[in-house]
Structure formats: C-alpha cells, structure tokens
Amino acid sequence: MSSLLQCAVCGLPLAEGEREHGTCRRCQMRGEIRDRLAGSDAPGSSSTGPGWGVGDFDLLDEIAHGGMGIVYRARDRRTGGLVALKSLPPGAADGGAHSRRFLIEVEALCQLHHPGIVRVLEAGSAPGRQFLAMELVSGRDLGRRLKSLGGPMPLREGVALVRKVAVAIRYAHERGVIHRDIKPGNILVDDQGEPRVTDFGLAKILHGDHPETLSGEVMGSPGYMAPELARGQSKHATTTADIYSLGAVLYAVITGQAPFRADTPVATLQKVISEDVRRPRAHNPEVDRDLEAICLRCLEKRPERRYASADQLVQDLEAWERGEPVQAPVAGAWMEARRWVRRNPAVTVSILLLVAALAGSVTMLAWVSHQKQLGEALQQALARTVMTDLNRLWDSAKNETSPEKRYLDVDSPTRALLRGSDAPATAGATRLVFGVYTHDPPPDMLAIIGPALVPLEQEVSQRLGLRVLITLRIYGNYQDAQEAIVRGDIDLMRVGSSTYIEAHDRDPGIEILAAQNGRIQGCIFVRSDSGIGSLEGLKGRSMGFVDDSSTTGFYLAKHRMLLAGLRASDLRGGATNFLGNHSAVGQAVLKGRFDAGAASANNIDPMTNSGLREVLRYAEPLGMPWIARSGLDRRMVEAFRTALLGLRDPKATARLGNGTTGFSPAADADYNSLREAMRESLRFDLPR
C-alpha cells in the first residue's frame, strides 16, 4: 500500500478526509491529548444533560453515571447515527485530577483497536466540556446480566465470555495499558453475546509520564479489586492487578457472586486484603477442580503467585474448554490443608502437638516425668523442625533470579510457635509486612527483631481497636529491601540511615516513625602489627568495606578519608572491596586479606583483643530509623509511631544492638547532615 494511504504513525489505512493530514484521526487525537496532559488547553466547566448538545452531538438520555463521568446515548448530527458519549460531570473539567484521568482514558482507548474493547469514534472538547464518543453497544453489561440470572452462568458460556475478555486485556497489556477497574459492570455484552471491555477511566499507561495516580490512593471497585490496589498501592500496580480482577469476574460468572462481599466498601476491602476466598466449588458443585484452580490462581493475594500474564490465563482457559490439563495447580488434599492451616493457625498448632504427643507418648514418657515437660519437649521439637524449614526456604529464596521473590516471610503464628506461645487468632486480622535485610541466617534476625514485634502488635491493635498481625519479611541484601519499600510491597521497615536516605530521595512519601536511641559508631581499623598509625598511612594500602550502602562501613568512612585528603585512587584496589557484613570485614583484615577496613565499631570492638586496632572512630547523628511506606493509612502510621516511642521493655529492645533501650522521635531533617556527608563522599571516588 502506498505510504500516502497509510497513517504515518500507526500504519493503518487512511480515510478520504485524513489523507491531507498524513495521520489518522485517532493519532491526531492522541497528539491533542498529549498537549493537554502537558498543561495546555484545559477547558473550563459547565453543566450539560439530556436535551443539551455537546460538540456535534445531541444528548438523548443518560445511560450510566459514575464518579469518573456520565455516559449518554447521543446522536451525531452529521450522520444521524447513535453513539455512547462520555463526559465529565459538571465542575470536573477544570484541568484537575478528574480532567487529567479523562484525557488519559481517551489516550488509552486511542491506542487500542480490538473487537473486544469498545471502539472510540471521536474525542474533543466543547466550551467547558470534554467528551469521548464511542460506539453504542446494544445489550447490557455483565453485572446486570448476572443480577437478572440470580446465580451463575452456564459454565461453558461463562468461561468463553471471560476468555474473550482476557484476550482483549492481553491486547491492552501488550500495548502498555493496565485497566485497573475490570468488573462485570465494565464488560458490555452485545445482542450476539460478544463482550466488550469499557471504562478505562482508571487506566494506567506504562509508557510515558502520566502522574495521575497518587500514592496511597485506593482505586477500583472493592469486590473486584486486587489486594495491592485495596492497600492503596495503585501507583505500583502491574498487569497482575488485572489478572486478579479477571479471576474475580470469572468467580462471579461461575458462582453468581463476587469473591468478597460485606456491608460496606471498607469492610469489603478488609476482606480482600486479609481473608482467603471461599472455593468456587463451595458455591457451585458443577465447577470442576481444574476450573477452580484457574480461578484461585488469579485470586492469589501475592501478585507473583498469579498468572504472570493474561496470555497464560487465556491458554489455561482454552485448555479447560478443550478438556485438556491446565497449568494452574489443582487443589488436592495437600493444598486444601495448607489453605486450612493459613485460616486456622492456632488450632493447627494444637492438633500438631496432640498428634505428636500421641505418636511419641510411649517413648517420651520414659524420660519426661509429667505433662508440662512433655508439652515443652514437643514444642521445642516442633520449633526445631520449623526453623529447619525456614533455613531451607531462606536458602531457596536467596537463589531466586527475580529480586521480587528473594525474601523469606515469617508470619505472626510461626513466630509464636518458635517462642513457645499460643498462636494468635488470624480471622479478621489486619496484616502488615515488616521488612528487614540481613546477610545472616533467619534465626539471627528473628532473635533481633522478633521480640520487639510482639508488644508492637499488641499496642497498635489496642490503639486502633483492630487485630493487627505483622509478617516479618527478611531480605538477603539492602538493594532488594529498598526496592520493596519504594514499590510499596512492604508496609514497615528497619533500615540503615543511608538506606533510608536513598529510599526517601526516590519516594519522598516514605517517612520515619522513630529511631532507635542506641548510638551507631563506625571505625577505620588495621591489624595491630601493621605499622599504620593514621589515615595518611593508608596510602598505597588495600581496604575492605561492608557494602556500597553501609553508613558506617562505607559512606562515613569515605567522608572521613576525604576530609583527611585521601581519595579512592590512593588505595590499592580503590573502594570496591565489599565483604557483605561488618564482622566479615574485621575477619578479612585479621587474616591479612586487606590492610585496613571500615565497619561498625560494635562489631570491631570485640576483635581489638584479637589483633585489630582502631585508626579513627566516628558516629552517626541518630540510631537506625524505623520507617513506613508511602501511602500507609495515617491512623496506622501514628499508632506505630506512638507504640515505638513508648516501647521501653528491655526484653523487646535488648537485641536491637548499639545499646538501644528504646526509641526517639526523628524526622527527615535530622538526617540532613548525614545526607550531606553522603553527597560529599562521592568526591572521594573522583580522580585527583
């Protein structure tokens, strides 16, 4: 085809009236939209309704009304044809958030040319009114159809419909558009039974700069919303949020109801976040295990456990329709047991102890004199088994290729088991994730952080009138942990001061709750017999560091050497020798691997009796900060801050290190001197 007959942007054939422009009307509209998103041509507001005209369209009657706009049945004066015309509600077309989202919806639809997505005909603005003209689909939305049925659709018909919707969403994802509000009400079904996805008012365009989503904003419809969206993490949503919603629609189609329902939207969101979904077969016995497995995989709480793409979901739905095996794991007895255990951890522990007691009673009673000792011995044996499993899972997690999976979760019931306490009830609990990073095995970090989490759970629960349970998430390095708090994958975190500064500079919404009151000191040290007596003596010598984000074992050491007139080029091998943790740096210097090292003084002080000697000691302005992710509920943030500042129990703080006996108030400004030192330390790496 001649290039004169093709759009210069998208390559589609040009209509007669488009050839003089060289681009099709859709691409022309996309250019206009980008201009408006950049801040120009923002129309004012006015009121319209049936009987009014918008542009070249006469509004006939209202079809639908929502927070993101009003949809009218309208007539095109030029052709006489009927269209669905969407317009912002009065007062919203003011260039604000509603206006910008409306323009993003238009841009999203202009990118999508698929029979399963409602077709855009025209977009523009009349005085005080932005509008979007779309094809008028004869029929009704899936939500109304399900309501009229009063129950599930015939399985094959329902699965075929959801599969077609998934194909359309796959197409949108391939073009960088995430819908974020897939629900039965946004799926129009025409008179021939063919579905079309509509209402991209909450869409996210992956390519380009579209600051339409505020961190912490809850976006979507509660009953069909992915847990990460329900937690207000819409800014970090990926295509797996749409996978969840497709699974929720599939659930509604095959059971006749949404996965989660409650009396209020807030209560529904709580269920989405914290409760396991009831198996579809419990509502509809005609659902087989394969179809149930597909549905439940979509509805996994953790995004990485869902289908990785809409294409994988489509393939499994097609396999089910052909009667072939599916890829989703079918819920056999073991998987059912796992789900039951997650819902009933306290009862599970009791049963395990009872079974162990019955199985081993003859042997164990020979050396355990009474029931209390028996219970303690069984608990210890069970704890050892759990700890072995945790170490195994930790080794597996560290070998994960995906950074988003390189962690180990230890939930509140498991920690209770390990310390010999009764497991807390989990039904209806609000779950939060607390992140830490360590190079050491999980038992070490559990012993450090675990005792502090117990009183924090209790105090925050009491203050909020909720049952709050904390899952401890352990990362193997600071990079993965920092990425997680920036993405919003974890709610709370204990970090090094420099890691906090780096994370806060990337996402200013991250805030400090409090800082440990223990003073953190670092030192530059050498072997006692090295003959090095000052920083000047490090010239031409090799030096080991902790890692490239350690406050005491990297940044402050470089800053002090810079002040003494040294540069990285003065060191043999530069400043790139990283050992991973503070004690390892000390051991490397002791063994002669490096001439000098920089690390936490708390780790090096015990080694001064074994052959190490300090050259310089320095200190951080504050102890380790405990921080909250951007967008965490304000009541939750303040409850944790108050609980931390009131924490004085030596049993809870003794293992936190650096002489910590509690927490002190802290704010971002308190770290400005360290922030400046970190910036200055960058000059250390520059050549002279």
Give pLDDT tens digits for 265-318. Answer: 777 887 888 888 999 999 999 999 899 999 999 999 989 999 999 999 999 999
Which residue in the list 35, 61, 141, 181 is annotated as catalytic?
181
Distance in angstroms (rounded) separating the CA atoms of residues 97 and 273: 26
For residue 209, pLDDT beyond 90: no
Query: 213 or 430: which carries more pLDDT confidence?
Result: 430
- Whether 181 is a known active-site residue: answer yes
* Two tokens, residue 553: 């074992």
Return the H-helix or E-strand segment holding 543.
strand 543-544
72 DSSP β-pair partners:
62, 85
pLDDT (mean) for 674-685: 89
Give, in words, the CATH class of 139-337.
mainly alpha
Distance in angstroms (rounded) separating the CA atoms of residues 485 and 435: 8
pTM above 0.85, yes or no: no
For residue 386, pLDDT beyond 60: no
* Two tokens, residue 408: 């180990």
Q: Where are the alpha helices (DSSP H) in 399-545?
A: 412-418, 442-464, 478-487, 497-506
DSSP 3-state assignment of 540?
Answer: coil
Under a CB-based contact definition with an 8 Å cutoff, are residues 561 and 597 in contact?
Answer: no
- Which CA distances in Å does 79 have to 18, 123, 137? 17, 16, 17
- Which CA distances in Å does 178 have to 123, 380, 579? 21, 49, 42
Distance in angstroms (rounded) separating the CA atoms of residues 309 and 327: 13
Distance in angstroms (rounded) separating the CA atoms of residues 556 and 541: 19
- Which CA distances in Å does 327 have to 216, 310, 318, 401, 569? 34, 13, 11, 21, 55
CATH number corresponding to 344-518+624-675: 3.40.190.10
pLDDT digits (tens, 9 = 90+) for 345-358: 544 555 444 444 44
**Beta strand segments in 601-662, E:** 612-619, 625-628
pLDDT at 62: 83
Query: 244 or 219: which carries more pLDDT confidence?
Result: 244
Where in the chain are the domains? 3-135, 139-337, 344-518+624-675, 521-619
Under a CB-based contact definition with an 8 Å cutoff, are residues 525 and 615 in contact?
Answer: yes
CATH of 3-135, one of 3.20.20.70, 3.30.200.20, 3.10.180.10, 1.10.3860.10: 3.30.200.20
- Which CA distances in Å does 171 have to 1, 117, 178? 25, 9, 10
pLDDT at 146: 94
Distance in angstroms (rounded) separating the CA atoms of residues 227 and 248: 12
Query: 441 or 559: which carries more pLDDT confidence?
Result: 559
DSSP 3-state assignment of 559?
Answer: helix
Under a CB-based contact definition with an 8 Å cutoff, are residues 535 and 561 in contact?
Answer: yes
pLDDT digits (tens, 9 = 90+) for 584-632: 999 999 999 999 999 999 889 888 888 999 999 998 777 889 999 999 9
Return the H-helix or E-strand segment holding 73.
strand 69-76
Buried b (16+ CB within 10 A) or exposed e, 81-99: eebbbbbbbeebbebeebb
First to last CA, the chain: 61
Q: Which of 27-41, 42-56, 234-248, 457-471 has the lowest mean pLDDT?
A: 27-41
Q: By 3-state DSSP, what share of the chain in percent is helix, strand and coil, each rounded to 5?
A: 45, 15, 35
**Beta strand segments in 352-491, E:** 407-410, 430-437, 468-475
For residue 30, pLDDT beyond 60: no
Helix pair angle (310-322, 239-255), 10° resolution:
30
pLDDT digits (tens, 9 = 90+) for 427-470: 788 999 999 988 667 777 888 898 999 999 999 999 999 899 99
Distance in angstroms (rounded) separating the CA atoms of residues 97 and 675: 34
**Beta strand segments in 596-674, E:** 596-600, 612-619, 625-628, 663-664
Under a CB-based contact definition with an 8 Å cutoff, are residues 232 and 216 in contact?
Answer: yes
Under a CB-based contact definition with an 8 Å cutoff, are residues 255 and 283 in contact?
Answer: yes
For residue 360, pLDDT beyond 50: no
CB-based contacts of 688, cutoff 8 Å, min separation 6 = 567, 569
Distance in angstroms (rounded) separating the CA atoms of residues 523 and 443: 27
Residue in the block written with tokens 């210097």: 589
CB-based contacts of 590, cutoff 8 Å, min separation 6 = 527, 607, 610, 611, 612
Q: Where are the alpha helices (DSSP H) in 53-197?
A: 97-111, 142-149, 155-174
Distance in angstroms (rounded) separating the CA atoms of residues 575 and 427: 51
CB-based contacts of 98, cutoff 8 Å, min separation 6 = 68, 88, 89, 92
82 DSSP β-pair partners:
75
Taking only Cα atoms into account, the Rg of the chain, rounded to an integer number of angstroms, comes to 30
Distance in angstroms (rounded) separating the CA atoms of residues 376 and 371: 9
pLDDT digits (tens, 9 = 90+) for 635-645: 999 999 999 99
Domain 521-619 in CATH 3.40.190.10: yes
For residue 323, pLDDT beyond 80: yes
In this structure, is the dihedral angle defined by the CA atoms of residues 550, 551, 553 and 558, taken in order, positive or negative? positive
Q: 104: pLDDT confidence band, cut at 50, 70 and 90?
A: low
Q: 490: pLDDT confidence band, cut at 50, 70 and 90?
A: very high
DSSP 3-state assignment of 200?
Answer: coil
Of all residues in the chain, the percent with pLDDT exceeding 90 is: 39
The mean pLDDT value of the chain amounts to: 80
Under a CB-based contact definition with an 8 Å cutoff, are residues 179 and 242 in contact?
Answer: yes
Q: Do domains 139-337 and 521-619 have the same CATH topology?
A: no
Q: 44: pLDDT confidence band, cut at 50, 70 and 90?
A: very low
* Two tokens, residue 625: 């900060």
Distance in angstroms (rounded) separating the CA atoms of residues 601 and 619: 9
At position 139, the amino acid (one-letter code) is G
